[in-house]
Amino acid sequence: MLRFLTAGESHGKALIGILEGMPAGLKIDIKDIDKDLKRRQEGYGRGARMQIENDSANILSGLMRGVTIGSPIALMIENKDFCIDNLPAVTNPRPGHADMAGILKYGFKDARCVLERASARETAARVGIGAICKILLAEFDIKILSRVLMIGGAKTESSMKEKIDEAKKSKDTLGGVFEVMVKGVVPGLGSCAHWDRRLDASLAQALMSIPAIKAVEIGNAIESAGKPGSKVHDEIFYSKEKGVYRNTNNAGGIEGGISNGEDIVARAFMKPISTLMDGLNTVDINTKKQVKASTERSDVCAVSAAGVAGEAVTAFVIAKVFLEKFGGDSISEVKRNYKGYAAGLKM
């Protein structure tokens, strides 16, 4: 089973990811991981923190001469801004963050004990893990892409940038929508037989686990909900050249919890960044007086960075279900299983 764990705080020494279950024999080029780490740091509207960090992965285990050996892969991304023990206490919790709920949950007197781990900086480790999963999927010609569809109501690149400039000027923040697409997936990944193995459910859970993602849509689900079935369901056709095919993909490549061979399309809806430079109303946990919320260094908008994290968690989910179906201890064994199945698909 493919699984991973991350560790690390926003201003701790490093972010760590451990990926277990990757077959032996996969060549890993660190450049592929670093490219995605860099993409996560970019995007119009990112804050000053991303100018301090220059993320790159250091692989500590699981490889020999750059090739996986079937053991857990540990990767580390060092924080340049390592100062966790010297940061001031936060007693004015920020609305929209884990601060207040975390203080109540753990009995802390300092929201920093919560926010350091709750921070989306953790997604750097997930992007590293996802990049390794992408390398596996690329062996089978599966590609994962993302794009920003909307920011603060704007849908073109120039108007999105304008919206971000306006928000920055007025010390406000924005959210938006990104789309993740998986190309080259064979039919048959996931399951219609078990609630927790439905591919759409697994993808939704993974995307919702990215901080600030509050809704996930598979295919054209939102629009489809207001249409009759005759305008929604992707009719099935057959030709000798193409085999079974569809002319539409409203289902987003998943039917009954199983990939159907079309591109998998998921959209994630991100709420506006919670830290506002003017500070929202909150309560000081010591004095109980009404005060303004803490203003950590912060992004104005991070939808494109969230999209890179979206690619990463999608890559993990697809790699996991892929290995569930075709799994073996080595890449050559997985390839053999995959080839046999793909040959049997021809109608």
Ligand X SMILES: Cc1cc2nc3c(=O)[nH]c(=O)nc-3n(C[C@H](O)[C@H](O)[C@H](O)COP(=O)(O)O)c2cc1C
Is 37 an interacting residue with respect to ligand X (CB under 6 A)? no
Is 321 an interacting residue with respect to ligand X (CB under 6 A)? no
Instruction: Count the site residues for ligand X by CB under 6 A.
Output: 21
Candidates 132, 189, 212, 285; binder of ligand X (CB under 6 A) is 212
Candidates 129, 131, 160, 305; binder of ligand X (CB under 6 A) is 305
Distance CA 260, CA 56 (A): 36
Is 293 an interacting residue with respect to ligand X (CB under 6 A)? no
Using CB under 6 A, which of the segments 11-19, 117-125, 181-189, 217-225 binds ligand X?
117-125
CA distance between the termini of the chain:
31
Is 299 an interacting residue with respect to ligand X (CB under 6 A)? yes
Residue closer to ligand X, measured from CB, 101 or 192: 101
Of residues 308, 280, 305, the one with CA closest to residue 294: 280
Quote the tokens at residue 181. Answer: 């697409």
Q: How far is CA 249 from the centre of its chain?
A: 23
Using CB under 6 A, which of the segments 80-88, 176-184, 204-212, 277-285 binds ligand X?
204-212
Is 97 an interacting residue with respect to ligand X (CB under 6 A)? yes
Is 219 an interacting residue with respect to ligand X (CB under 6 A)? no
Residue closer to ligand X, measured from CB, 62 or 102: 102
Q: What is residue 72's DSSP assignment?
A: P
Alpha-carbon distance values, 52 to 38, 78, 79, 82, 189 (Å): 12, 12, 9, 11, 41
Contact 66, 81 (CB under 8 A): no
Contact 243, 145 (CB under 8 A): no
Is 103 an interacting residue with respect to ligand X (CB under 6 A)? no
List binders of ligand X among 251-290 (CB under 6 A). Answer: 271, 273-275
Q: How far is CA 174 from the centre of its chain?
A: 18
Candidates 100, 120, 186, 334; binder of ligand X (CB under 6 A) is 120
Distance CA 299, CA 105 (A): 26
Query: Footprint of ligand X on this chain (CB under 6 A)?
Result: 47, 96-98, 118-120, 123, 210-212, 271, 273-275, 298-299, 302, 305-306, 309
